[in-house]
A and B are shown apart, each in its own frame.
Chain A
Amino acid sequence: MMQRRTRATGAGGFRAAVLATLAALSMAAASLPAAAEEPLKIGFGMAETGPLAGTGKSALLAMTIWAEDVNAKGGLLGRQVKLIHYDDQSNPANVPALYAKLIDLDKVDLIISGYATPIIASTIPIAMQHDMVLMGFFGLANNAKFKYDKYFGIFPAGEKPALAIMQPFFDAAMTLNPKPKTVAAVYPEMEFGQSIKNGVKTAAAAAGLQTVYDQGFPPSMTDLTTVVRQIQATNPDIVAIGTQPGQSIAIVRAINEVGLKAKIVGGGMTGLQTTDAEGLLGEQLNGFVNFNIWLPAPKMQYPGVMDFVKRYQERAKAAGVDPIGYYAAPWAYAELQVLGQAVEATKSTAGDKLGPYIHATTFKTIIGDVKFGESGEWAQPRMLAAQFQNVKGNDIEQFKGTDKVVVVSPAEYKSGELLSFEDARR
């Protein structure tokens, strides 16, 4: 009996000890530092391969730096931030499966989009389905049809992107003396080209310009010298171009070969903002005036941006991404700054809390103040026109400074004076 009791007492003591240990563990877990909690997961697809990967990988490095910065300060809501990303191969068709995996299997807390307009267009319905906030990276008027109240686009083109891209170019053109009177517009026969065409039409009409050439070309056209000669035959003052990366390179070469004469040339040439294109074309770029979104001009050195750029450039070479990174990297960092600030302020990752807060707030980021309008695009466009000046040879290091890519419009961000196309090429 005694023995039994002892056993019973022993068993009870063991149970009590286990319970006490579990209780202690659970209390300890409750009081553990936040770092031991489940990380706050941000999921996205990104163009790590495919034609958009140049910009996609640059953005990815910037996002990684943001996550490291945030985690060094304790994370978000006391939780470490973890970025979960998959390669969307630059293909919108891959988006639904990737985000289904992110949301259903990885159980991410927040989502952001990949790069750029077509990818975002595939992502918005998924965000709508799950009532999640979606930050869109470099989309043009993606929300015009969806009108989703929790979508926010990081690209300073506002609700009329084609006009926003071309307007600073035309504003710069109209400062030339004598004032230009005629315009030629050239663009590929694709959706982007048609948008640019409409932007040129609106800006040219507002400036009272006569259109002397308005033609597209097939996107697969390898040599554009005949197109450029045709433009030259109309003797325009302004040559407004809207092209995608490969076409931008082809038309710059063709213009150099033909020796096009005009007062101002450029506008909406995608891809010339990348270090790759700058290194390839070198001094062939002199004189071109093209849209841009951020450059380290004195008036655009917002708090933190130069420090970020320095850290990005230190790591870019080893990561095999755009070594200068002015085009995409600061914006990718800023996109997550907006999201991070909203999460901290609302103490939530829920769409119905974050959405109204992001709509109502002006965010301080490394690319300046960010305020979204009703459609989720920037409330006010902030596109730049920048001119290549005094480029020598093909050394990419020269593009790190502010003297080779000079902001010429709008006036509040100018870092130098516009030269006529011919003067800039002398």
Chain B
Amino acid sequence: MTITYPLLVNAVIAGLLMGGFYAALSVGATVAFGLLDIVNIAHPTFAVVGAYAVLVLNRAFNIDPILCGLLLTPIFYGAGMLLYQLYHHFFERRGDDAMRGLAFFFGLMFIAEVAMIMLFGVDFRYVHAPYITTTWNFGAVALPLRLAVPFAGSILMLLALELYLKKTFIGRAIVAVAQDPFALRLVAVSPVRIKRIAFGIACASAALAGAFIIVIEPLQPAVGREFIGRVFAICVFGGLGSLPGTIVAAVSLGLVENLSTIFIGASWSPAVAFGVLLATLAWRPSGLFGRS
């Protein structure tokens, strides 16, 4: 098949846009896994919980879905802090190995899915917003707002988070707790408190990512499973704990998926994407932006 210029350009744009969405979905896992060493495999499911919460708010008050996601972030932040406290009390504090923590979040994922099935059923749920069915065309190049709006939201969210981590005391403490929790104690900062805040932030990002999910595709309780592999691949590929790495890795994954679709067929896209990931890790074991 001939690869035409519009096909190539549109594939690149689709890859960029999906990459932005992947970044929003992965950033919470990057914070939890990369900075706090918590393998929160349930993070994509938390985003699905966020999507259902967005659905409820949207239907009840007819508010824009992404604004709903933003409004939900404080609630998810609080829930995340509470969840971390439980995790810390039952696992981290005892020095239990990471596998038990993984089992905890794995179980939590199933409980959350069953709860969503019980509450909302399994039918596809969706929201209406003017931009979901709008596509801007620039000659042969198309920009579906269903993908472009979440992309813009994702980039803003990641920039805000990066600024927070770089410019604020708590932000710098979060980065520090990943490197040396004992050093934090020397400056009278509780590592547990900092981790609690960081996990709250990770969960708050799930509320916004959930809003992006329900804008991009119809929602059903198990949709989070589609993203587990991608989310953790992006965390590792970008370099554990690095937000710029998360963006670059997510966009790279989106681009590789879409370009391999047009060059060798969509069936190969996951294999090519993860092949690139493995090759990169062989070259840089700590990921693109990870500290060696």
A residues in contact (CB < 8 Å) with B: 49-54, 90, 189, 213, 215-218, 220-223, 225-227, 229-230, 233-234, 245-246, 249-250, 253, 256-259, 276-277, 280, 284, 320, 394
Contacts and interface: CB of A to CB of B under 8 A. Distances in A.
A241 to B, nearest CB: 13
A146 B4 CA distance: 49
Given A223-B216, A226-B261, A230-B1, A276 B267 contact: no
Contacts of B6: 229
Contacts of B267: 189, 215-218
B40 interface: no
Contacts of A213: 1
A320 to B, nearest CB: 7
A408 B272 CA distance: 42
Interface of B: 1-4, 6-7, 10-11, 14-15, 17-18, 117-118, 121-124, 126, 128, 133, 135, 142, 144, 146-147, 216-218, 220, 222-223, 226, 257-258, 261-262, 265-267, 269-270
Nearest to A193: B267
B144 A394 contact: no
Nearest to A57: B121
B261 A227 contact: yes
Nearest to B117: A49
Contacts of B122: 49-54, 90
Contacts of B218: 246, 249, 280
- Most chain-B CB neighbours within 10 Å: which of A233, A234, A259? A233
A249 B126 CA distance: 11
Contact of B135 (A234, A249, A257, A277): A257
A223 B269 contact: no
A256 B133 CA distance: 8
A309 to B, nearest CB: 20
Contact of B222 (A51, A225, A257): A51
A26 B6 CA distance: 86
A250 B147 CA distance: 12
A339 to B, nearest CB: 27
Contacts of A233: 1-4, 7
Contacts of B146: 253, 257
Contacts of B7: 229-230, 233
B1 A226 contact: no
A88 B257 CA distance: 36
A366 to B, nearest CB: 25
Nearest to A54: B123
Contacts of B265: 215-216
A245 B217 CA distance: 12
B18 to A, nearest CB: 5
A396 B50 CA distance: 27
A260 B15 CA distance: 19
A52 B124 CA distance: 11
Contacts of A394: 128
Contacts of A189: 267
A284 to B, nearest CB: 7
A249 B123 CA distance: 13
Contact of B1 (A50, A54, A234, A284): A234
A276 B4 contact: no
B173 to A, nearest CB: 35
Contacts of B147: 223, 225
A90 B269 CA distance: 29
Contacts of A230: 1, 7, 261-262, 266
A258 B6 CA distance: 11
B262 A226 contact: yes
A91 to B, nearest CB: 12
A245 B122 CA distance: 12
Contacts of A223: 14, 17-18, 147, 216
B262 to A, nearest CB: 6
A276 B218 CA distance: 10
Contact of A220 (B18, B118, B133, B226): B226
A226 B133 contact: no
- Most chain-B CB neighbours within 10 Å: which of A52, A222, A250, A280? A222
B14 A216 contact: no
A229 B13 CA distance: 12
Contact of B220 (A234, A246, A253, A259): A246
Nearest to A394: B128
- Most chain-B CB neighbours within 10 Å: which of A220, A221, A257? A257
B44 to A, nearest CB: 12
B130 to A, nearest CB: 13
Contact of B124 (A215, A221, A276): A276
A57 to B, nearest CB: 8
